[in-house]
């Protein structure tokens, strides 16, 4: 199964208020294992960066001034994600920004049916606990010492590890491939051919056993198994 783990950085909290996406990082996973394929880009938001947002991700107006517009890379982004499920932490926030940018480009939005929210998964798995990405990394022993500021690709890499743990750990990826399945099937056939066939042993109750059971039921008050 192919899934895309992703994160975004923005100028603020709500695209309806004019906020824009300035970075996106995507990681391809197949059967919950990263393939090494990624999509990462910075975008010129065509507006100034609020100081509060810059303090979170460190992306300044000067840094973003020479970056491409989202519209220039929108099709590359869509080609990368294809129709795969999209996994994010507090995914509704990221979906709102992606779809706002796609709408500005006149492109189809990413449907919410593809959304996988790791916050919702964590609420089920760890009710009452802290659910931030930092808190989940600490819970699962995931090293985030190199994370001094938020970054879309870095956070996606951390989230990919968290997501695997939320889904049950690495053992879920130990699936048999086609070649292995054929080998196992062949071994089963060989074992069956070599098996010594024995006639089934009789196991029905004798008349004496049935009579003894009926006599026992007379001593039990309304036995359920005597109906």
Global model pTM greater than 0.85:
no
**What is the dotted CATH code of the domain comprising 2-173?**
3.30.420.10
- Kindly report the average pLDDT of the chain as a whole number: 87
Q: Residues within the annotated binding site for substrate?
A: 7, 9, 52, 57, 155
Which residue out of 40, 146, 150, 203 is catalytically annotated?
Answer: 150
Distances, alpha carbon 132 to alpha carbons 103, 107, 118, 200, in Å: 29, 32, 10, 60
Q: Residues within the annotated binding site for a divalent metal cation?
A: 7, 9, 155
Question: Is the distance from CB of 103 to CB of 109 less than 8 angstroms?
Answer: yes
Task: Please report which confidence band the pLDDT of residue 223 belongs to, taking 50, 70 and 90 as the band edges.
Answer: low
- Can you give the pLDDT at residue 128? 95
- Reported as a single tens digit per residue, the pLDDT across 13-69 is 999 999 999 999 999 999 999 999 999 999 999 999 999 999 999 999 999 999 999
For the chain, domain boundaries: 2-173
Task: Please report which confidence band the pLDDT of residue 189 belongs to, taking 50, 70 and 90 as the band edges.
Answer: very low
- 150 is a catalytic site residue: yes
Question: Is the distance from CB of 102 to CB of 69 less than 8 angstroms?
Answer: no
């Amino acid at each position: 199964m192919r899934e895309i783990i992703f994160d975004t950085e923005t100028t603020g909290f709500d695209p309806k208020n004019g906020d824009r996406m300035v970075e996106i990082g995507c990681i391809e996973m197949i059967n919950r294992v990263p393939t090494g394929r990624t999509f990462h880009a910075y975008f010129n938001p065509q507006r100034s960066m609020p100081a509060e947002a810059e303090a979170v991700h460190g992306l300044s107006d000067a840094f973003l001034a020479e970056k491409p517009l989202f519209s220039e890379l929108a099709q590359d982004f869509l080609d990368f994600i294809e129709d795969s499920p999209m996994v994010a932490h507090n995914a509704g926030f990221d979906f709102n920004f992606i779809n706002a940018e796609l709408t500005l480009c006149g492109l189809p939005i990413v449907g919410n049916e593809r959304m996988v929210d790791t916050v919702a998964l964590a609420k089920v798995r760890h009710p009452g606990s802290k659910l931030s990405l930092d808190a989940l990394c600490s819970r699962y022993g995931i090293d985030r010492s190199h994370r001094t500021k938020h970054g879309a690709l870095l956070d996606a890499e951390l989230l990919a590890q968290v997501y695997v743990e939320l889904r049950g750990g690495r053992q879920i990826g130990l699936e048999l491939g086609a070649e292995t399945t054929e080998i196992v099937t062949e071994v089963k056939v060989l074992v069956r051919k070599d098996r010594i066939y024995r006639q089934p042993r009789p196991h029905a109750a004798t008349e004496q056993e049935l009579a003894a059971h009926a006599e026992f039921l007379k001593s039990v008050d309304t036995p359920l198994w005597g109906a």
